[in-house]
Homo-oligomer: A and B are copies of this chain.
Amino acid sequence: MAEINARTELQVTTGPLPASRKLYLSGTLHDGLRVPVREIELEKSALEPPVRVYDPTGPYTDPDANIDIMKGLASVRGDWIAARGDVEAYEGRAVRPEDNGQRGSKRASAAPTFPNVVTRPLRARAGGNVTQMHYARRGIVTPEMEYVAIRENLGRERLIENRDHGQPFGAEIPDLITPEFVRDEVARGRAIIPANINHPELEPMAIGRNFLVKINANIGNSAVASDVAAEVDKMVWAIRWGADTVMDLSTGDDIHTTREWIMRNSPVPIGTVPIYQALEKVGGIAEDLTWEIFRDTLIEQAEQGVDYFTIHAGVRLPYVPMTAKRVTGIVSRGGSIMAKWCLAHHKESFLYERFEEICEICKAYDVSFSLGDGLRPGSIADANDEAQFAELYTLGELTKTAWAHDCQVMIEGPGHVPMHRIQENMTKQLEACHEAPFYTLGPLTTDIAPGYDHITSAIGAAQIGWYGTAMLCYVTPKEHLGLPDRDDVKTGVVTYKIAAHAADLAKGHPAAKLRDDALSRARFDFRWRDQFNLSLDPETAEQFHDQTLPAEGAKTAHFCSMCGPKFCSMKITQEVREFAAKQNTDSYLASENIRRETSPEQARQAREGMEEMSEKYREEGGRLYVRAEE
């Protein structure tokens, strides 16, 4: 078996983001909670406290954490799970050659196995149920729920006075998220906390319409590209830039081994599409798939700690012919495999018929369902058609079945949809699926821009996120063209953080606007460093700025290259403000208080600062404009 050199092959990016430090907040209901938040430090002249932002980056951005990919991350939830006293360790399923695509004559394994594989995984005691929904419905506020409440609450108190309630389209976002609120949302199925009991490294997070909009990044190798080290690196890289969950969509060999490395090093929920691996086990012949092979794959992955499964149980035999008229037929891989199976056997999907048995597995490990939209449209022409909605209503029916088992459920959505048909998707999903969280891919709002589909889809993602989608699955510039590399992953994640944040603002999330306002004040005050540090991608922002004005001095200069020294509108505005101030000092001070959310004292200081500045201009000859070279 191939050896692996952690130092060279398994390098991942660590260390804090610029001007940022990680804080850990503790809870009140449960001892020992360490909930991460990132604080961005501002320049002294800002007279503002640090800005807190949601932090999915895990220990990788904590300078005090000892990162060793060969060992994996430390346990976060181990004690919580044990304390509930409802699980048992048992002799796990032995890894088989076919789990890694080793079939027939093909035997040599390519990828090195993870050193510390858990051989005795956990499961619910016989007849038990360990899902967060199960606890929630019994009125139990788990540590996971309190953790999520603290995490979602970032700086929220500070905005309650002048909260912009936006247009929430029926979402009910409270001023403050309480642990009880989280429990209630999970209990009624409006939110999920994907948290397999075999993924103790997980830092719990929630996916629901009344929480911050989340984003997912897809990674995974295929038969023609990628490898283990690259996938682990991509996972760490994706969460560094803001991915809330990661899906491992590997389809080639070494699927089992690759997943083990990812699971053991991931602080975020990991999702998979089990049918991909099941198909590998039967040599890629869809007709040869059986319930037994699929079931075995579910248990294999549940024991590894996969947090949510995409299950295409809504692709039913009678729906398949509905796709014949389509321009792009069936574009979901899982959907097309099941469609082929149904037609080949002329039988109903075994995923649909065995759904309750799948629920039994999921509730024994707390694997959440991500009910796949196997018939999602693959082009503008196919959007919102008969096949798509027929499946959606079946997913709603399956949601009720899963809920009867206290299984957590989210629903996957399209795809390719023109803007005027997006809201119908959200409305129908809420109605058909009883407010179970929606998890959409894009949607792409036009088909004509391969190479830019992170943008064609961000346009749709921001809108459907605003309408109520709980998690947005990212799309990279390589969509339709190839597998994303490291740069594509970053571009996709940052683009989707933009879409999710734009949605949070429009939904009226109480804490969302804090960061926009802080960055805009920095922009107005020419605090370039703060602008970079507050942005989603400080490195790119600074690099772009430096292409035109590299000098360190320029970063504090009162102009920028867009206008040049003689044309700075923001500088002129400062003078306008001084005029206005002189006209009405009191109302100006009052407005300053509103503007900066600071004390009268701070506002006075700010104003004195401005006056010193204009004093300085007068000394310089009273000229309003200063040449760059001076």
CA of A576 to CA of B561 in the docked complex: distance in angstroms? 57
A479 and B560 CA atoms in complex are apart in Å by 11
Q: Contact: A505 with B445, CB < 8 Å?
A: yes
Contact with A379, one of B520, B567, B623 (Cβ below 8 angstroms): B520
Are B547 and A485 in contact, with the CB atoms below 8 A? yes
Q: In angstroms, how far is the closest chain B Cβ from the Cβ of A590? A: 9
- With A327-B517, A343-B579, A482-B548 already in contact, the answer to whether A541 and B594 are too (CB < 8 A) is no
A576 to B326 CA separation, bound complex (whole angstroms): 12
Q: Do residues A545 and B448 form an inter-chain contact, with CB atoms below 8 A?
A: no
Assembly CA distance A503 to B446 (angstroms): 9
The oligomer's copy count stands at 2
Query: B-facing mask of A587-630, CB < 8 A → 1, else 0?
Result: 01001001100000000000000000000000000011100100
Q: Which of B497, B508, B567, B591 contacts A222 (CB 8 A)?
A: B567
Q: Which of B224, B419, B483 contacts A463 (CB 8 A)?
A: B419
Residue on B with the closest CB to A625? Answer: B284
Instruction: Tell me the dominant secondary structure on chain A's binding face.
Output: helix
CA distance A479 to B224 in the complex (A): 38
Contacts of A251 in B (CB 8 A): 563-564, 566-567
A477 beta carbon closer than 8 Å to chain B: yes
Q: Which of A302-328 contact B (CB under 8 A)?
A: 320-321, 323-328
Q: Which residue of B lies closest to A591 (CB)?
A: B325
Q: Which residue from B340, B501, B506 sits with its C-beta under 8 Å from A576?
A: B340
Q: Give the distance to chain B from A104, nearest Cβ to Cβ, in Å.
A: 14
- Taking CB atoms, residues of chain B closer than 8 Å to A452 are 494-495, 498, 536-537, 540
Interchain CB contact (< 8 A) of A535 among B285, B450, B466, B562: B450
Q: Are A448 and B501 in contact (CB under 8 A)?
A: yes
Write the nearest CB–CB distance from A219 to chain B, whole angstroms.
Answer: 12
Contact with B along A523-552 (1 / 0, CB 8 A): 110000001101111001101110111000
Hey, which chain B residues are within 8 Å of A579, CB to CB?
320, 343
A-B complex: 6 closest residue pairs judged by Cβ atoms: A329-B573, A223-B564, A482-B548, A379-B520, A419-B506, A336-B569
Known: A224-B628, A320-B579, A450-B531. 11 other contacts (CB 8 A): A222-B563, A323-B573, A324-B577, A331-B569, A340-B576, A420-B508, A448-B498, A448-B535, A452-B536, A455-B495, A480-B562
